Amino acid sequence: MRKQPSSDGENRTTWLILVGFGDLQHLRFLPFTLFLAIYVVTVGGNALIVLAVASSRTLHTPMYFFLCHFSVLEIGYTSNIVPQLLQSLLEGKEAISLLSCLLQFYVFASLAAAECLLLSAMSYDRYLAICRPLHYPALMSTWSCGCLAAGAWFSGFSFSAFTLALAAPLPLCPGSREIDHYFCDFAPVVGLFCGDVGVMWGAGVSISGFLTLAPFLFIVTSYAFILRTVLRIPSGGGRQKAFSTCSSHLSVVGVFYGTLVVVYVAPTDHMAPLLRKAFSVLYTVFTPMANPIIYSLKNQEVKRALHRLWGQLLPGQLLTSSWIPA
């Protein structure tokens, strides 16, 4: 465990202890190896998707533009938490400053909100492509795509900043500075402060609920219209082709919202702390890994682009560019 600074009383009050997975100290190298492998796959897989889309002109479409942004979000999302988790697995309890804890929560909440909004933008893209194909080029122009992506990023970071700003005037609670978690989630952060935390708690729950439920309802509505349109297609092949363009996105939505429901909706008040942390691993570690796996397995265009990219990166192929589509 890192040494906790003790130069003066003020420093002691602004340093916290993340308990992490202290119960698994005797198995530390096993979970460390597992999470390290998942982290490498997550970052490498999402980075490969970004490179594949950027290098293949056939993928320069709105759907893959949003996919690139989603992959970048996943890299930032997992990199904000997993390196610290890996360190805690090796060292046990870890000291973290209050400022670092609040910053980690802010980045985590912002990227999670931006992911929800970006998933809804991707569903809107699929709705226009299938239900309004004649208007699709005009409604999904480069300007429109840029505004939707920028709006997702800006909204996520803006709303999270508002929640965090409510903590500024609140005093820290005296006593123990231990956080029985492996990262600074919303509930542990709120638990650090005393006084009237009801406003902060209410605002946080309301904003997070709005930024997750509203995009989810929008996604469900979009796919209801898509389903109605697809069922009107006379040929079975046409229906299958239309559905195939949505399957990857639907799978990512299912994994993302499924883990959120398990962690934040399922009753966990009476669960053991270790079990609650295990559930949190679902959306902080495993979910970001699902994005490149799903798109590389279910999307043929991405598979072909990754295959061409891999062929270029092989030894002896670095100087060839014949694989780039005309």
CB count within 10 Å of CB 118 equals 23
Q: How many angstroms separate the Cα of 158 from the Cα of each of 114, 119, 207?
A: 10, 18, 11
Rounded to the nearest integer, the mean pLDDT of the chain is 81
d(CA 273, CA 84): 18
Residue length, the chain? 326
pLDDT (tens digit, 9 = 90+) per residue, 273-305? 677 777 788 888 888 888 888 877 667 777 777
Ordered domains of the chain (ranges, CATH): 17-313 (1.20.1070.10)
Torsion from C-alpha of 244, 245, 251, 256, nearest 10 degrees: -170
- 171 touches 193 (CB < 8 A): yes
CB count within 10 Å of CB 161 equals 12
* C-alpha closest to that of 115 among 290, 272, 307: 290
pLDDT (tens digit, 9 = 90+) per residue, 122-148? 999 999 999 999 999 999 999 999 999
Tokens of 222: 């979009």
pLDDT at 267: 54
* C-alpha closest to that of 228 among 138, 139, 127: 127
pLDDT at residue 9 tops 50: no
Which residue spans within the chain are E strands per DSSP?
Answer: 15-18, 94-97, 178-179
pLDDT at 321: 39
Which residue's entry shows tokens 């980690």? 104
* C-alpha closest to that of 24 among 86, 105, 80, 97: 86
Of the ranges 85-99, 155-169, 170-184, 288-302, the best mean pLDDT one: 155-169
